[in-house]
Amino acid sequence: MTTGKTRDEIAEAYSSEPWWYDLRGFFILTFAYNSTIGTQMRFFGPNFGPEHLEVACGTGTLLEMVLNWRRRRKLPQVKVTGIDYAPSMLAGAKRRFANNPQVVVQHADAAQLPFADNSFDTANIANSIHCFPTIDGALRDILRVLKPGGTMAANVLLYPTGFAPLRWAAQKINDWGIRKGILYSPFHTEELRAKMLAAGYEIHSEFTSGNTWNVVVRKPV
Ligand SMILES: C[S@@+](CC[C@H](N)C(=O)[O-])C[C@H]1O[C@@H](n2cnc3c(N)ncnc32)[C@H](O)[C@@H]1O
């Protein structure tokens, strides 16, 4: 069940200090997503083409870790454009990447991207798609700005499963996140798969890990 928050209410819910957001994010990742930073590096790290769009980059903490992960593996340098709708998150990202010419961040709604059609080789939506009030709109607009054959990776928060105490803890965190406005809703895999196919993507690869569905989709050529 969702509370139907608007994009501005969601942005307001994200107006905490970047350090608190990062600390809170670690607990949410561990107990609600039942995932690890390492899993996220290995999933998002490979999906960077020469022109990359990082959708809902937040404070850029994860993006910076992924770029460092790529550097350690000597993967090609890429140009990254990060967008986020919450001004406080974006302020943290702007400070973080102020001296990094590889990354530009700007204010934008994932469902109304200020970019021309066919601009990006790749896009990642890390830990965010289930926070959007307009997932269908975001999926359609990301498809529009991807080049034909371009890929998008996203991890989707699923309704918790597994060992009862962990499931209960994840459920409590999700309920709190929905009340606060930092989570729109968890999903069932099939709901999100149907949305991606309806938006016009092809499924490239997918796996479930903890309480997340990790999917790479492609814009048809
Ligand atoms: C849980 S955070 C994840 C941030 C970052 N990707 C990470 O993994 O640390 C979700 C982000 O989605 C952003 N967001 C929510 N709705 C959005 C929208 N409609 N357009 C762009 N960003 C949005 C929030 O402002 C927040 O920064």
Q: What is the pLDDT of residues 48-87, one digit of tens each?
A: 999 999 999 999 999 999 999 999 999 999 999 999 999 9
Is residue 50, in this structure, part of any structural domain at all?
yes
Is residue 2, in this structure, part of any structural domain at all?
no
Does the pLDDT value for residue 2 go beyond 50? no
Contact 127, 155 (CB under 8 A): yes
Contact 120, 81 (CB under 8 A): yes
Query: What is the total count of domains within the chain?
Result: 1
Is residue 138, in this structure, part of any structural domain at all?
yes
Does the pLDDT value for residue 3 go beyond 60? no
Is residue 114, in this structure, part of any structural domain at all?
yes
Residue-range definition of the domain harbouring residue 206: 7-218
Residue with CA at minimum distance from ligand 1 atom 16: 132
Hey, how many other C-beta atoms are within 10 angstroms of the C-beta on 77? Answer: 11
Contact 3, 10 (CB under 8 A): no
Ligand 1 binding residues, C-beta < 6 A: 7, 10-11, 14, 25, 56-58, 61-62, 84-86, 89, 109-111, 126-128, 131-132
Is residue 147, in this structure, part of any structural domain at all?
yes
Is residue 1, in this structure, part of any structural domain at all?
no
Is residue 103, in this structure, part of any structural domain at all?
yes
Per the prediction, the chain carries an average pLDDT of 93
Q: What is the pLDDT of residues 142-151, one digit of tens each?
A: 999 999 999 9
CATH of the domain at 124: 3.40.50.150
Report the nearest atom of ligand 1 relative to the CA of 109: 20
Contact 117, 150 (CB under 8 A): no
- At residue 116, what are phi and psi to the nearest 5 degrees? -70, 160
Q: State the Cα angle at 187 between 184 and 192, rounded to 5°.
A: 110
Cα 105 to middle of ligand 1, angstroms: 13
State how far Cα 41 lies from the chain centre: 13
pTM of the model: 0.94
Task: Identify which of 28, 84, 136, 142 to mutate to test ligand 1's pocket (most ligand atoms within 8 A of the CB).
Answer: 84
pLDDT at site 4: 66
